[in-house]
Every structure is written in C-alpha cells, then in structure tokens.
Structure 1
Amino acid sequence: MKSVFGILPAAGLAVGLALASLPANGQQPQAPIPGLKPATPACVAAAKEILQMKHAGAMYANAVPNIVHQTKDQILSTNLNYQKDLNEVEVIVAKKLAGREQEIGEGMAQIYCNMFTEQELKDLVVFYKSPLGQKLLTAEPQAIQTSMNYMTNWAQNFATIVNGEFRAEMRKRGKQI
C-alpha cells in the first residue's frame, strides 16, 4: 500500500541533507527537539501508530546509509588517496550507526504530539482504521501526486501567459524581447 510519504522522495533527501549537517558523534543521545513540550507515552504511542499507518518510516528508512555515504564522499573529495580506506570505513560506520534512523520516527511522534492533543491522535487512529480512513490512506497519495502534476502543468501554462504579457508590454515600449 502506498502512503502520502511514498510520494515525497524530496522530503527524504531533505531529511538526509539536514541530518548530514549534524555532528558525527554517534554516541550522543538524541536531544529533545527545541521548542516542543514533552509528550505523554500514550500520546507518543498514538502518534507512532498513525505514522506507521501512513508508512512514514519509508521516508527515512535509508537515512543512515545515505548520510554515511554522503559523508564518505565529502571526505573523499579532499582525500582521494584514502579511497580504499574510506570505502572500508563506510561499511564499519554504517553498521555501527544502523538503527539510528528510528530517532527520526521518535522526533516525528513528538511533533505530532505537539500539533494534536492526545485525544485527537487517538481519534485519528480510530478514523484511519475506519473504512473511510483506510480509503484516505490508500487514495491520498494518488490525489496528492495528481494534484502536484496539475499544479506543475498549470504553472507551465501560466508562465507562457505571463511571458506573453511581458512581451506585449515591452512591444508597447518599442522593445522586442
């Protein structure tokens, strides 16, 4: 089953790039997200259930290996003579830090708990388990993708109109562009 998150590969890339700028010390525990209030365990559980139903994990599933690889490539760009060693170290670091992408899911659950009350999240879980909720989970990704395609086509067509208006206004000024 597809999810809303399945059509957002750019979001996964953004997560990867954002995480790539974090300190590399893998032994540091995850700090609380600044500006978010602590959430109750029940709220976090409901948020995680919603995220699981939406297949949010697919968005960040490869975050660790991708960031490890990007970091290796960045180091390699200034240390070409260490390519063999860096390739070997990449495997070691990826294994050592495997599973850390789950921190993203924890953070997302905290964010949901700050956006919705615990009861709202529980109500959403009930809704997503209903026939209409299941239909939404199934149909929404396609609706969003189709909407994105429509917006792209609209913008291209509108840009042609805007270009024509610029040209017409410039012709009025005696200038051909």
Structure 2
Amino acid sequence: MSRRTIAALGFALCLALPNVAFAQARKPAPTATPAANTPAANAPAASTFTPGHLALAREVMLSSGIARSFDSVLPAFADQIRKQAVTRPELAKDLDEVLASLQPEMELQKQRMIDIAARTYAAKFSEAELKEIATFFRSPAGKHYVEAQPQLLDEMVQEMQDWTQDVSEYVMVRVRAEMGKRGHQMQ
C-alpha cells in the first residue's frame, strides 16, 4: 500500500471516527417521517448559515482533531520543494529562508481550509446537532477520544495493511482452487 493510499485512508478514518463515536453516543430524535431525519433534511442550505451555526461547525471541526490533517499538508509541500531543489544545493539556504518567510501566508491558507471545512460541517449538521457534537468533544470522553485518535489511526492503518495482505492471499488461494476445479491451473 503506498504512502498516499495510507494518508488518504488515514484522512478518511479521521473524518469517519468522530461521526461513529457521536452516533453511538446520541439518541435518535423522533421524526414525523423517515425522510425528515436525513442529513439533507436536517441541514440548512448554505446561504442560511447563521454566524452561530458556522462558529459551532468550526468548533466541532477543530475540536474533533480533523484540522491536524491540515497541519501536515503545508510542511509536506515545503519538503517536496526542497527535494526538487536537491539537484541545486546552492539554493538550499535561500530556499529555506523563502519558505520560512512564506509561513504567514501558508497559515492563512490553512485557515482558509479550516473555514471551508467548517462550512462543510455546517452543511451536513443542523445547529442543534452541532451543539450536541460540541458537547461531546468538550466532555472528558470526547477529549480522550481526540487525544487517542492519532494512535488509533496508526494502529488501524497497520491492521488494514495486514488485513489487506491476508485477504489478498486468501482470495488468490480461493480463485486458484475454484479455477482448478474447472480444469485451469493458475500460478
């Protein structure tokens, strides 16, 4: 599994885990019709976000630990640029200075992504739901959950790599056996 795949998987898990923990913790609200409890039915249109709704969405997004994934993106860009400049070692000092001088701009770019993510949360959750989620992340269990997330993700990625390898081998053995029953030998 490539590092890019692992990173994508980690980010996807990072997005999914808070929702799983919250879904287990909250009680479903009574609804008049089945369609009334869908995310689309509960979330307001993008143009109707109140400042409070956006603030709660931002708080939930930040307190969930998801913004940590944004923290690693910008240094990765800088590392990639440095690696490309390896062929010209005389650029190293100036390149490091330029990259350091760009840090405030890069921080603004990260804040822009945080704002986008907050709007995404606001689009998926009503203000009332965000209040419940924020309460969870403020709780001792929620704080512990966020603190444990990096280790959980590392362990899950390792387990998924092992699982993927095991399943791949299992499927190949089964395919060979079934093809053998049909008179085909596969290496």
Q: TM-score under structure 1 normalisation? A: 0.60
CA distance in structure 2 between the aligned counterparts of 1:13 and 1:152, rounded to whole angstroms: 12
Q: Is the 8 A contact 1:43 1:118 kept in 2?
A: yes
Q: How does 1:115-134 map to 2 (within 5 A)?
A: 115-134=124-143
With over 3 angstroms needed to count, the CA separation of the structure-2 counterparts of 1:70 and 1:163, relative to structure 1, is same
In the superposition, relative to structure 1, how do residues 12 and 46 fare at CA in structure 2: closer, same or farther (>3 Å)? farther
Extract structure 1 runs of 4+ deviating beyond 6 A.
none
What corresponds to 1:92 in structure 2? Answer: 98
3-state SS in 1 of match to 2:46: coil
Q: In the superposition, relative to structure 1, how do residues 12 and 48 fare at CA in structure 2: closer, same or farther (>3 Å)? A: farther
1:99 is paired with a residue whose SS is helix
Check if 1:167 corresponds to 2:176: yes
Contact 1:44–1:109 (CA under 8 A) maintained in structure 2: yes
Alpha-carbon RMSD: 3.6
Report the residue type matching 2:107 in the other structure: G
Specify the alignment match of 1:10 in structure 2.
7
Check whether the contact 2:60–2:134 (CA below 8 A) recurs between aligned residues: yes
- Aligned residue type for 2:134: V
Change over 3 Å in CA distance of 1:134–1:86 after alignment to 2: closer
Displacement after TM superposition at 1:167 (Å) = 1.9
Distance 2:58 2:10 in 1: 22
Instruction: Tell me the distance in 1 between the aligned counterparts of 2:61 and 2:175.
Output: 46
Question: 1:136, 1:68 → 2: CA distance?
Answer: 31
- The CA deviation at 1:87 is 4.7
| TM-score, structure 2 as length reference | 0.57
CA drift at 1:46: 0.9
Instruction: Structure 1: state its 5+ residue gaps.
Output: 1-8, 15-35
